[in-house]
Structure 1
Amino acid sequence: MYDPSNSAEGKFSELHDEASVRRNVAPRLTLAIAAACCLGVTVGAVLWGEHYADQEVAARESLIGHDMVESLDRMLTSVRTGRRDALLELVGQHCAKISLQLSELETYVQYVRSINLVDNDRLYCSSSIGPLSVPLSSYVPRGTPGAHGTIINLLAGTPFQPGTPVISMYEPTGDGAGVQYTIEGAYVADALAHGIRYGAQQVFLSMPGSGVLNDKGEFVPAIKTPNQIGTRVYSTQWPFSIAVLASAALATEMHWRYGLLFGALAILFDLLIAAIALLALAPQRQLLAAVRRGLRLGQLHVVYQPVVEIETRRIVGVEALIRWTHPRWGSVSPSVFMAQVERSPLLARITRFALRTAAADIAQKTDIRPLRVAVNVAPMDLQRKDFVADVIAVNDALPPGVTLILEVTERFLLARQPRTQAIFNVLKARGVRFAIDDFGTQHSNLDLLGRFPFDYVKIDGQFVRQIDKGGAALIKAIAAVAKHFGMEVIAEGVETEAQHAALRELGVPFGQGFLYQRPVNAGALSVEPEPGLAATGH
């Protein structure tokens, strides 16, 4: 996170603003040309956009359907394989002797309401109620063994709970004997309901010869053919399919988006490319040249904002932040220039400068130990061949008691995962630690915490600012997930004592923000201790 708190005054900011104004001419020009040429837009361009929008809607439905099928495949396979051999050995044995063992085995099998043993075409022993006598046809009304030798049926209910849908799974071991699993329909409905979050209006599970279970957990005896209500995806492992119908809002959005896009691009594509090239490239080159010159003349420097232990306010780390002080234009905010730098070859020099400067400052200008020093890295950094060597060289030169942390953001972790994972492994083996910065603001993807071996999770300041308006629950949830994966949480943007107290109450271990200290030179790092601790000698 390149902290944009410094003001950007003077002519250099005006240069950036002028570039922004010039870029804004492009949409005005395209709107004027579009208005003059709108009568010339052909029916073919509109139909092309409509066709593309339909494909995008179908692709979203298919993606949701495949995700649902994959989830349910894992669920059914988990039920079938969980303690399977031990359960099959119990078939035919007297219920009074094995009911306790059957109940114990059931606790190891997820998603099931009960596991029942079958003999003479009757369920005679249940993990939930013990001895019973129910015809097998009540749970297995139809079907032949599939590829696994297992029969599954979707039922509107059972003799004991007639109105509660379930999936019945039956694995025969002989003539009229076997193991029957009753899978809660609520678990299936919960899996289907995830599709609603990703743009589906309705999601249905159907099995041959059975009815349909929808995302609300309702059993529907008969509906229109799934192919008529959206996209249908079949499981290759089990005899069921998922039908997905996209929401009207998603379909409308796609048709508007691609209708307008293809209609406008048919006329304005070449003109837009020329306008963007003329209006954007020249200011960008000027900006990067000025940054390159500033780096060469020593105008760029690094300041440090403390990361404190919330319980004591003791400094445990710092975040290194790039600053640019121009001799004529004054302080230039990183928000003015870093976005362009991160997309240019100049990034390597800037990152190398930040790493080396931070290492030297911490070694020479402060004696706070132990201390973690965090340096931000950008997406293109991890694509450089010499990036790992740069980091190792700086890390090996750090004095004892100082740990290097690389802060990365969510937006580029989902792409290039194998290379990113390899970099993590190499650097962590050398003692470098990693933090995920601004967590929750890009993809809000909790799965990242399980896929990448982070050491710290930095919660973005926008959640800290809303800690008394519902943000506390989110912070608590993120902290719980981070703790599960062995990571520690740092709350950014702490500005008030009330926020500090709330974070301490939530058990968040570390904080960073203006409340403790604004970014300063390394020699000026100092944070007031927690009130009362100094008096007690802690």
Structure 2
Amino acid sequence: MEAALRLAVEADELVLHYQPKVDLRTGGICGAEALVRWNHPDKGLLFPGHFVPLAEQSGLMVAMGEYVIAAALEQMQRWRASGLPPLVTSVNISARQLRCGLADYIARALRVTGVDPRSLELELTESAAVESLDITAAELNELRAIGVQCSIDDFGTGYCGLSYLSRLPIDVLKIDKSFIHAVTEADASIVKAIIALGHSLGLRVVAEGVETHEQLAYLAQHGCDEVQGFLFSKPVPASEFTRLLIEHTPGGPGQLPQRIAAIAATHAGPTDARPDAGELITAG
């Protein structure tokens, strides 16, 4: 399997799918998360859980991570060249990548593609961020000096308290989907507290894993900045994401902003009136 994965990186078998992020102030698509898939010649499309742990263990993570970043930047360049509205694209990184000259690699890749550094966001999990905190902070500072945005992913699942968080040079907090999926009063209070914490530190707050109108309405009510999840769209290939961008920009035929505003204003409709997951965007 390790040899096959190494070959996959060299043979362009890795592909990116993109999940839209929606701005709750405007209702428009404001960004995307690039998620890697392995288009295995025999097993079909494999999700990260099937090969990312192997990449970490075998030392392939840096090479695979660079491949993903390069592919994302090239796609961002194509969107810009086709006249689509600018949006921030986020890519997941590991602690190992961060400590292996990531800032230098990204600076070179940005020069080659001509992509605006502010359009690239790097997501580091909370657990990875608190490993060797001073080193992490120094590496993130290098990335932000280039102009790249940095975010803490899966926030709330690790040990990153206020003292740790205030020492990390980041731009975005992403609330872990486990808090969004649950509908208990305790989890709702945690979500509300994370939003308030993020804003008190001057950070944008993003909720992932949004699947219901109730979740969307709660997040909008409490000032969450951006959301992503199956309520809007599953991760899709670049060609499909391009169609979503065209159809659901403000004033476009999909009228996503009006739909989002209506849901947030009414705090969700009756259960039998809700669309299926993904219908808000994919149903145009």
Aligned partners of 1:398, 1:404: CA distance in 2, in Å?
A: 12
Of 288, 294, 299, the match for 2:13: 299
**C-alpha distance in 1, partners of 2:260/2:48?**
37
Q: Say if 2:22 and 2:30, in contact at 8 Å, map to a contact too.
A: yes
Q: 1:332 aligns with which of 36, 46, 49?
A: 46
Map of 1:530 onto structure 2? 257
Higher relative contact order, chain-length normalized (CA < 8 Å, sep 6+): 2
SS of the residue 1:325 aligns to = strand
Instruction: Give the CA deviation at 1:532.
Output: 5.2
Task: Specify the alignment match of 2:163 in structure 1.
Answer: 447
Contact 2:36 2:47 (8 Å CA) reproduced: no
Q: What is residue 205 of structure 2 aligned with on the other side?
A: 489
Shift of 1:419: 2.1
Structure 1 residue 389 and structure 2 residue 104: aligned?
Answer: yes
| Alignment-derived partner of residue 174 in structure 2 | 458
Q: 1:422 to 1:444 in 2, by over 3 A?
A: closer
Give CA deviations for 1:384-414 in whole Å, capped at 9, x if unaligned. 1x32211112233343496111100122333
Letter in 2 for 1:370: P
Alpha-carbon distance between aligned partners in 2 of 1:404 and 1:327, rounded to the nearest angstrom: 30
Q: For 1:304 and 1:402, locate their aligned partners in 2 and report how far apart those are by CA, in whole Å.
A: 18
Matches within 5 A, 1:7-156: none
Deviation at 1:428, TM superposition (A): 0.8
The Cα of 1:534 is off from its aligned counterpart by: 9.8
Distance in 2 between residues matched to 1:293 and 1:476, nearest whole Å:
45
Partner of 2:30, secondary structure, is strand
Whether the 8 Å contact between 2:27 and 2:260 is mirrored in structure 1 is no
| Residue type of the alignment partner of 1:419 | I
TM-score by length of 2: 0.81
In structure 2, how many angstroms separate the alpha carbons of the residues matched to 1:392 and 1:512? 28
Q: 2: distance between equivalents of 1:400 and 1:301? A: 22
What is the CA–CA distance in structure 1 between the aligned matches of 2:215 and 2:7, rounded to whole Å? 41
AA at the equivalent of 2:53:
A
CA 1:367–1:439: 2 relative to 1, 3 Å: farther
| Counterpart in the other structure of 2:72 | 358
**Cα 1:519/1:500, change in 2 over 3 Å:** same
- The structure with the larger Rg is 1
**Counterpart of 2:26?**
312
Name the count of aligned residue pairs: 248
User: 1:157: which partner in 2?
Assistant: none
Q: Which residue of 2 aligns with 1:347?
A: 61
Distance in structure 2 (CA, Å) of the matches to 1:395 and 1:356: 9
Instruction: Give the partner amino acid of 1:336.
Output: H
C-alpha contact 1:304 1:519 (8 A) present in aligned 2: yes
Amino acid of the structure 2 residue aligned with 1:408? L
Q: Which runs of 5+ in 2 are unaligned?
A: 249-253, 263-284
Aligned to 1:506: 222
Q: Among all aligned residue pairs of Structure 1 and Structure 2, give the percentage whose two residues are the same amino acid.
A: 33
- Structure 1 gaps, min length 5: 1-286
Say which SS state the counterpart of residue 147 (structure 2) adopts: coil
Deviation at 1:468, TM superposition (A): 4.8
After superposition, the C-alpha distances for 1:278-330 in whole angstroms (9 at most, x for unaligned) are xxxxxxxxx22111112222211111111111233311111110001112211
Q: Cα–Cα, structure 1 residues 494 and 398, in superposed 2: closer, same or farther, change >3 Å?
A: farther
Structure-1 separation of matches of 2:125 and 2:105: 20
Structure 1 residues 450-479: Cα deviation after superposition (integer angstroms, max 9, x where no partner): 110210000011101124543221111111
- Maintained 8 Å contact 1:441/1:460: yes
Q: Distance in 2 between matches of 1:395 and 1:388?
A: 10
| Distance in 2 (alpha carbons) for counterparts of 1:513 and 1:473 | 20
1:430, 1:371 → 2: CA distance? Answer: 18
Output the CA distance in 1 between the equivalents of 2:10 and 2:141.
34
SS at match of 2:57: coil
Provide closer, same or farther for how the CA distance between residues 350 and 437 of structure 1 changes in structure 2, counting only shifts above 3 A.
Answer: same
Matches within 5 A, 1:93-242: none
State the Cα deviation string for residues 336-371 of structure 1 (Å, max 9, x = none): 110121233211110110100000012114644321
Whether 1:431 aligns to 2:155 is: no
Distance 1:371 1:382 in 2: 24
Secondary structure at the counterpart of residue 51 of structure 2: helix
Q: How does 1:393-404 map to 2 (within 5 A)?
A: 393-396=108-111, 397-400=113-116, 403-404=119-120
Alignment root-mean-square deviation, CA: 2.1
Amino acid at match of 1:461: K
- In the TM superposition, what whole-angstrom CA distance separates every residue of 1:243-289 from its partner, at most 9, and x where no partner exists? xxxxxxxxxxxxxxxxxxxxxxxxxxxxxxxxxxxxxxxxxxxx221
| CA-to-aligned-CA distance 1:78-110 (integer Å, 9 cap, x gap) | xxxxxxxxxxxxxxxxxxxxxxxxxxxxxxxxx
Q: What's the CA shift string for 1:493-526, capped at 9, x where partnerless?
A: 0011221111111111100111111111223221
Q: Hey, what's the Cα distance between the residues in 1 that align with 2:175 and 2:260?
A: 26
SS of the residue 1:289 aligns to:
helix
CA distance in 2, matches of 1:532, 1:483: 26
1:418 Cα shift? 2.6
Query: How far, CA to CA, are the matches of 1:352 and 1:532 in structure 2?
Result: 37
1:456–1:488 contact (8 Å) kept in structure 2: yes
